[in-house]
Structure 1
Amino acid sequence: MLKVAAIALRGFLVIFGAIVLGLSVTLAKQQVIGSPPAETSFFSFSGAFGLIASAIAILAIFIDKIPRVGVIVADSLASVFYLAGAIALTVALKPVSSCTSSSDIARDERYHNKLLNGGCRNIKDGIFCPNAGKNTNEKNVDSYTSGRCQEVQADFVFGRADDSLQAAGKGLGAWRDAYARARDLVDQMTLEERANITRGFTVPDNICAGNTGTVPRLGWPGLCLHDAGNGVRATDLVTSFPSALHVGASWDRNLTYQRGLYMGKEFKAKGVNVLLGPNAGPLGRTPLGGRNWEGFSVDPYLSGQLVAESIIGHQEAGVIATLKHLIGNEQETYRRPYFGVEAASSNIDDKTLHEFYLWPFMDGVKAGTASVMCSYNRINNTYGCMNSKLNNGVLKTELGFDGFVMLDWNAQHNVLSSNAGLDMVMPLGGSFGTNLTDAVENGTVDASRVKDMATRILAAWYLVGQDGDNFPEPGIGMKNLTEPHDQVDARIPESRDVVMEGAIAGHVLVKNNNALPFKKTPVMLSVFGYDATVPATKNTDVLFQLGYTSSAEMAQAVLGTEAHFDQAARGGTIVTGGRAGANGPSYITDPLSSIQHRARSEGTWVNWDLTSFDPDVNAASDACLVFINAIATEGWDRDGLHDDFSDGLVLNVASKCSNTIVVIHAAGIRLVDQWIEHPNITATIIAHLPGQDSGDALVKLLYGEAGFSGKLPYTLARNESDYSVYKPCGLVSPNDKDPQCDYTEGVYVDYRDFDAKNVTPRYEFGFGLSYTTFEYSSLSIKPLRKLSDGAGDKYASTSDELWEVVAKIEAQITNIGHVAGAEIAQLYVGIPNSPPKQLRGFEKTPLLSPKESSTVYFELTRRDFSIWDVVAQAWTIQGGNYSVWLGASSRDLLLTGNIEV
């Protein structure tokens, strides 16, 4: 009798475990929004292991060799697993019976929740939980987010997020022919075939970052998608181009276009259809951002101009560009949900969104980008790839984007993201594929939406000319490149000059007490610092790739222990940052090797000590060069903007050498006030991330074979506290599960904030020294009549009038120095009721010989004078006085004028 009772009891436990496991599978298939991924995964785990423990206990009844203590342990484990699973299941299936539809607020959509009786069913407006405070008004709006209610200021909420925002591609302008051909092919596809090309697959023989499905019946081959940043990632026989931050420091449109073109050609040669770049976000709200180096500048105008040039170059090469990450992906800390903690919500008001963070995306869409990647984080409490207002409303409707919206890898939360404007899921099928066809059949997703998704993807394919038989097969290679694979040499000999010129142009000289260029051939040079030599790791690795934790706070949350990451990559010189934006170079000309090569031809003696913190210095040294760096990578935010080891090394060398030159390879802002005023430090170079020609480019600059023209694409402060936003935002308490990032600083980021608060930086935005001197003269400002006539009018983001030239400005720049050089003239405009000045133009002169002059021209559009009207939901120009400044930096303003509107 006892044996039967034991079997019955354990049989009941097995059934209970099967129910728990079955519910977890059902939830995964139904993609219920109210189930946080961590809880769902946990009770799946509990159910599975509880079943195993129960099975062992049942077997013990029939197998005498299993000791009694084993039975007790198995029963105990089963009970613990089932109890934990039941608790997690309760949390995951927590009913939201109080949810009420509202047409006034954008929130996570919970449509067609068939599993939960208490859930919100068939609701087509955004929803909110009224229990947090009824009788809402425009100053206090209750919002629902992932099963939790909280109060959000109305200024953070922008519009509705219901299905009525869905926007089918129009296929106008440059897209017209591509859309006609895409529609013709999609019309021949079944629902399953259309769904198949919207989802990702893995192809083990050739490791693209992602692959779409194919349609063999109609001859459509599918797409290979791959990173991007400073070249083709995780492969061999490619070029490591200068990184985006380095390009931003060049302020050179033509070099940016050429880089984009040749990089695109290498991607095509490797059989990559979709290049996962360029980055318009993060812009760099916090200087600690781990991915700031993947973007061009903290200034939206400069970033937008270079984003556009990159996209044009990529797509002229025949690959699809991907503008990313839309939007507010300004930090790595809590960028994704971890262990029950939601991803951070970037709470951005409508005016700030349009005038700052969306600005470079507008330029990218205007340039014709065929793809946009949504972001991991939440925007105003709705996940980026689930944000209908953002994807359907802002991107596809307001900006008129006709390409496809792509998921950032594994950022999907449920199949209803298709209704929110998502067109492609990566790297696997996620909720698309079979789930998408099921959603159409049960009425959750309209068939027309799937047709539009497929049409947008195929239109992008046609737009860049990938149809036909001339597109190469993928040639990335195996994950382990030491294994046999077909080698595809993608390098282009014609690109070598562009790579070298780009490496030179992004170096910024910030201090020079007549130390550079070398006035005569040095008899003795001494080289110090870990950054002077090539890294000891394999060049096919993603250099300095760290884990996915992002700060001491994140390490505590994820690892259970506090951890800090070194701010310097002391394993060798850096030519790129880390992870998705990085690639393996063909070679690295590191600084020491390039200096030694030059020394060999000129008879210079070179001393070096690359490891000592307090090295011996030969008093006969003509110059001492100290090489340090500041590393950053996707996945974690930096702990600070300088490190004690590197600063101590610089000071130790400077204390013994009267001609100390500091070179900093930096993947972001790196403070220098710890030593910059030391009298023995005679020159300092911010060398950024030059790519594979790093050392050779530097030597050309040191010896005067090339001149400095680079300018800082950010402000270099004296203190960390000078930045309006310094640290990434996080949780307000240990039990908090809902990190909120309120962008209360608005558009006052970097130099806009420094100017508004009259804070003196160490080196201002746009600053950079030259080996020569330039004179600015003959400013001419010609506002067109239509500028004044249009005051107060409203302009849509896609209107031709917004992009129409309404003012022409020119000036003369003369080289009054003694050596040839190129200057970057910067145009700033003071818009009423806005930051004191904003960049609205820049122009690089040709290389000017001494006494030679060049005229720089600027054409300003109506958009350049506009602000965003949050009531009219349009751009408008205010009446008033607009100051105009032209100069060598944001604070070295040499010519002044004004325009009256």
Structure 2
Amino acid sequence: MDINEIINQMTIKEKAALCIGASAWCTASVRRLGIPQMVMADGPHGVRRAENIDEVHNIYSLRKSLPSTCFPTASAVACTWDIQLLTEMGEAIGKECIVQGVDILLGPGNNMKRTPLCGRNFEYFSEDPYLSGDLAAAFINGVQSKGVGAALKHFIANNQEYKRYTTSAEIDERTLREIYLTAFERAIKKSKPWAIMCSYNKLNGIYCSENHELLTEILREEWGFDGFIISDWGAVHDRTESLKAGVDLEMPGPQKKSFKNLIKAINNGELTEKALNDAVKCILKAVFKSKEEKKSVEDIDINSHHELARKIASESMVLLKNNENILPMTKPKSIAIIGKAAKTPHIQGGGSSEVNPSNLDIPYEEIVKLAEGAKIFYEEGYTMKEEINPVMIDKAVSIAKDAEIALVFLALPSHKEFESYDREDIKLTKHQIQLIKSVALAQPKTVVILNTGSPVSMKEWIDDVQGVLYSWLMGQGGGKAVADILFGKINPSGRLAETFPIKLSDSPAYINYPGENNKVIYGEGIFMGYRYYDKKEMEVQFPFGYGLSYTTFKYSNLKVSSDEFKDVDGLTITLDVKNTGKMAGKDIIQLYISDKEARLARPIKELKGFKKVDLKPGETKTISFKLEERDFAYYHPKYKRWITEDGEFEIMIGKSSRDISLIKKVRLISTTQLPCTLDYNSTVREWLEDKKGKEIIESLSKEIMNRKDFMRLSSDSNVDIWKAAQDTQLIFLLKQISWALPLVPDIIMSRLLSKVHGERK
């Protein structure tokens, strides 16, 4: 297919029309040139394909979608830490896209969890860019292996729903690079998504849909992205400016005003036809690729997809507390099941990602199947209202007293986890909190099963219960997964992909969220998530990477390929993992690194590797990791690049960010060649931090110290004198000791700068 020849045959109007959606879910077709429409559907945890793809986008159409497998949401699947499982999920969704005639799946979401209040956090993976980027890449690779494109979203900094259409995320360059862009960069380079969706918000005062630096300079030129860039639905404010910036396709359509403005901009020279052609080419590549790669429509086994949804749900769930091994349950004679969520599970969040599930497991029913004749009591326990209802609580307490164990199923009111607005707090309702405390008082053997998409505060009640299982927004197969874990049919292996704070005010963005005057300052900088809690030495409810198992694991024999290595050579790490318990289980080995000698502030530790391993009782496996130069680097805004530095690093192997089992020290030799940035106003510290500058200063220091009259200044050593003045401008220090210098300070300074810059060349 010669796309350039097709473009040459297209009229300006046809080109402009192709760059704007023809309907809510389709691109324009040009029949005379054999250009078909391209169909899109929301994701990311299932296919939400509209019944009528040609309809105009409206709020009432959101719930009119074809049945599809509803997998657990991103916040849940992230807790699997399982690349292969994410790929399988992507493959299944890709197959369902084919059956439903969908060319592009709008997902996955890859935004960082900056605040636990974000109403759309259930659609996002993690607070860590390394983990989030790798999981997103795995999902995309799965979808696209079936010839269906994925649109990675929302690029970038859509980290809150509050005023998402107007708020400007004010982020310094280093933070943007190390946290928010890194997640997308990893996903893009590892999976090559067909499309990137830009976000609604502004970035540092510029709408993301009009941000040339973001969409063209970074995304296309620096990272090499060669797919098409699509707007979020309604994110374009000026079609001409957005096309100049890099947005190829505006959605939804039709947009008569945008169409007219593009034609006008071409005619008056504001927009070049080449720019329009470039956008058309990106779109046509995807259009024809989608038709060529899908050789035939596949028949799918919807039952096997339901089983996959069950498997993913079971590996997503995180056992947070298990005092006295209350779980798994062993042949209980009676069970009190309390909570509306047991019979009406909360399987997904609200908004554009809502899937019409093809099947649905009910926790209550699945527990009954496994109870083997145990007497089952049930009470609804709560409504979705905030007010305490003593009657409902009394009924729940009554059955809890008479049972051997109480299982309390809780979900947040649906409106608290919904696209377009944020949560007001991270608490359960007042009634639910009182329900837990009352039931636990009556029945010491109480387990709480939390059916929600984001962290909730537990400080008011967690000490009252023996067990807590976080089942997340668990998709259509979550009901059986919960039952299997409760009865020990499956050993829980989920680990948290985000930190659970004790209270909302502990969270990194608390002071700056939600911003004011349509600006939100990312004042925590690179210290987001566990990076923040570590730096503050702050207690948390549950740390990043945390999760319990019904068995135990031991790490040993940590080895590195070299105790001293060049950054370009990388580093290989190996260790042994043994299942020391009596039950088969899966563990997630987490590798963190700690830079001990960085010039700029760095986190205490950062995740740089993870592996999920399945072990039988007594079995040992050797796990290996390969770290690359970038894993040891940080972004330096002065040089506008990633750099490494000579120095000591610690390789940490942990079961969570707060449970480090093994540590190995290594020394990195940097090959980074940096330009000299020293100038007339540079401080002594800056001279000493520069390799060549340090040599020159040390030479000057010796020359000064050798002057007999310099001893009148101080009897201290020259090292102490220079250290005492390290935050002083060098020229100022030279002027202070000018009487001890062979030449006037300005001449010396000029020669020093000439020497250091000249030797760099």
TM-score, length of structure 2 as denominator length: 0.80
Mapping of 1:598-609 within 5 angstroms? 598-599=370-371, 602-609=372-379
Higher helix share: 2
SS of corresponding position for 1:617: helix
Mapped pair 1:311 → 2:126: no
Conservation of the 8 A alpha-carbon contact between 1:288 and 1:727: no
Conservation of the 8 A alpha-carbon contact between 2:572 and 2:627: yes
Q: Distance in 2 between matches of 1:459 and 1:659?
A: 60
Gaps of 5+ in 1: 1-179, 203-208, 337-342, 473-487, 535-572, 733-737, 791-804
Q: CA deviation at 1:654?
A: 0.6
Among 576, 589, 607, the alignment partner of 1:825 is: 589
Q: Which residue number in structure 2 is paired with residue 228 of structure 1?
A: 43
The code of the aligned residue for 1:246 comes to A
SS of corresponding position for 1:453: helix
Q: Distance in 2 between matches of 1:320 and 1:894?
A: 41
Mapped pair 1:391 → 2:391: no
Q: Return 617-626 or 292-301, whichever deviates more.
A: 617-626
Among 846, 856, 866, the alignment partner of 2:633 is: 866
Q: Distance in 2 between matches of 1:269 and 1:783?
A: 51
Q: CA deviation at 1:408?
A: 0.7
Cα 1:593–1:416 change in 2 (3 A) is: same
The code of the aligned residue for 1:296 comes to F
The code of the aligned residue for 1:883 comes to E
Q: Which residue number in structure 2 is paired with residue 374 of structure 1?
A: 198
Cα 1:214–1:434 change in 2 (3 A) is: farther
Q: Which residue number in structure 1 is paired with residue 549 of structure 2?
A: 770
SS of corresponding position for 2:357: coil
Cα 1:900–1:278 change in 2 (3 A) is: same
The code of the aligned residue for 1:531 comes to A
SS of corresponding position for 2:79: helix
Q: Which residue number in structure 2 is paired with residue 296 of structure 1?
A: 125
Mapped pair 1:852 → 2:619: yes
Conservation of the 8 A alpha-carbon contact between 1:333 and 1:728: no
User: Cα deviation per residue 1:393-437 (whole Å; 9 max; x = unaligned)?
Assistant: 211112111111111111111122111111100001435434322
Mapping of 1:493-892 within 5 angstroms? 493-534=303-344, 573-599=345-371, 602-611=372-381, 612-614=392-394, 615-618=396-399, 619-630=401-412, 631-642=416-427, 643-678=429-464, 681-726=465-510, 729-730=513-514, 732=516, 738-783=517-562, 788=566, 790=568, 806-831=570-595, 832=598, 833-846=601-614, 848-892=615-659
User: Cα deviation per residue 1:291-335 (whole Å; 9 max; x = unaligned)?
Assistant: 111011111111001011011111111111111111111111111
Q: Which residue number in structure 1 is paired with residue 3 of structure 2?
A: 182
Mapped pair 1:196 → 2:23: no
Mapping of 1:362-511 within 5 angstroms? 362-366=185-189, 367-414=191-238, 415-430=240-255, 431-463=257-289, 465-467=290-292, 470=295, 492-511=302-321
The code of the aligned residue for 2:6 comes to L
User: Cα deviation per residue 1:483-504 (whole Å; 9 max; x = unaligned)?
Assistant: xxxxx98654443442221010
The code of the aligned residue for 1:776 comes to Y
User: Cα deviation per residue 1:433-484 (whole Å; 9 max; x = unaligned)?
Assistant: 3432221121111101111101111223344x42388466xxxxxxxxxxxx
Q: Distance in 1 between matches of 2:418 and 2:33?
A: 42
Q: CA deviation at 1:235?
A: 2.1
Conservation of the 8 A alpha-carbon contact between 2:350 and 2:417: yes
User: Cα deviation per residue 1:120-168 (whole Å; 9 max; x = unaligned)?
Assistant: xxxxxxxxxxxxxxxxxxxxxxxxxxxxxxxxxxxxxxxxxxxxxxxxx
Q: Distance in 1 between matches of 2:419 and 2:42?
A: 13
Conservation of the 8 A alpha-carbon contact between 2:567 and 2:644: no
Q: Distance in 1 between matches of 2:541 and 2:188?
A: 35
Conservation of the 8 A alpha-carbon contact between 1:884 and 1:897: yes
The code of the aligned residue for 1:585 comes to P
User: Cα deviation per residue 1:844-898 (whole Å; 9 max; x = unaligned)?
Assistant: 002x111101111111121111111223322211211111100111111101012
SS of corresponding position for 1:823: strand
Q: Distance in 2 between matches of 1:196 and 1:698?
A: 49
Conservation of the 8 A alpha-carbon contact between 2:515 and 2:521: no
Cα 1:468–1:724 change in 2 (3 A) is: closer
Cα 1:620–1:349 change in 2 (3 A) is: same
Q: CA deviation at 1:186?
A: 2.6
**Count of matched residue positions in the alignment of Structure 1 and Structure 2:** 630
Conservation of the 8 A alpha-carbon contact between 2:18 and 2:29: yes
The code of the aligned residue for 1:899 comes to V
User: Cα deviation per residue 1:342-387 (whole Å; 9 max; x = unaligned)?
Assistant: x111011111111000011101211201111111111001111011
Mapped pair 1:353 → 2:176: yes
Cα 1:778–1:461 change in 2 (3 A) is: farther
Conservation of the 8 A alpha-carbon contact between 1:866 and 1:877: yes
Q: Distance in 2 between matches of 1:250 and 1:516?
A: 23
Cα 1:740–1:419 change in 2 (3 A) is: same
Conservation of the 8 A alpha-carbon contact between 2:555 and 2:575: yes
Conservation of the 8 A alpha-carbon contact between 1:276 and 1:321: yes
Following TM superposition, where does structure 1 have runs of at least 4 consecutive aligned residues deviating by more than 4 angstroms? Answer: 468-472, 488-491
Conservation of the 8 A alpha-carbon contact between 2:327 and 2:488: yes
SS of corresponding position for 1:531: helix
Cα 1:469–1:591 change in 2 (3 A) is: closer
Q: Distance in 2 between matches of 1:635 and 1:641?
A: 17
Q: Distance in 1 between matches of 2:333 and 2:152?
A: 50
Cα 1:743–1:503 change in 2 (3 A) is: same
Q: Distance in 2 between matches of 1:696 and 1:368?
A: 35
Conservation of the 8 A alpha-carbon contact between 2:411 and 2:452: yes
Conservation of the 8 A alpha-carbon contact between 1:182 and 1:462: no
Gaps of 5+ in 2: 49-63, 382-391, 669-761
TM-score, length of structure 1 as denominator length: 0.68
Conservation of the 8 A alpha-carbon contact between 2:45 and 2:72: yes
Q: Distance in 2 between matches of 1:870 and 1:900?
A: 24
SS of corresponding position for 1:433: helix
User: Cα deviation per residue 1:710-757 (whole Å; 9 max; x = unaligned)?
Assistant: 10111112122211113773464xxxxx31111121111111000001
Cα 1:187–1:613 change in 2 (3 A) is: farther
SS of corresponding position for 1:627: strand
Cα 1:525–1:468 change in 2 (3 A) is: closer
The code of the aligned residue for 2:612 comes to K
Q: CA deviation at 1:271?
A: 0.7
Q: CA deviation at 1:595?
A: 1.5
Q: Distance in 2 between matches of 1:320 and 1:346?
A: 29
Conservation of the 8 A alpha-carbon contact between 2:18 and 2:280: yes
Cα 1:373–1:632 change in 2 (3 A) is: same
Cα 1:272–1:648 change in 2 (3 A) is: same
Conservation of the 8 A alpha-carbon contact between 1:249 and 1:713: yes
What value does the CA root-mean-square deviation take over the aligned residues? 1.9
SS of corresponding position for 1:385: helix
